[in-house]
Amino acid sequence: MNGLVVKSVNPIWHYGLKGYLNERNVKLETAKKYCKEVHYSCKGNHYFGIGLQNDSGGWELRNKYFKSASSPKDITFLFNGCK
């Protein structure tokens, strides 16, 4: 374990995260479909970021200043109707 603990998972709300998505050219409606606003702690400090949940329940986490993941690590399969 990397010491990262997820505290809460909510719809994307924070203006800073919306700005980050805009900088990355990700439309808010697309992000809201696949991602969440994840609040987490690491080494006693509290943070938040955009989270994409993987197939095992872990999270890929990103914000303007941080890029990491929570355990367990796994792939993320997004079904879009194609065979």
Cβ contacts of 2 within 8 Å, gap of 6 or more:
42, 68, 69, 70, 71
Could you tell me the pTM of the whole model?
0.89
Determine the Cα–Cα distance for residues 15 and 60; give it in Å rounded to an integer. Answer: 20
List pLDDT tens digits, range 25-83: 999 999 999 999 999 999 999 999 999 999 999 999 999 999 999 999 999 998 888 87
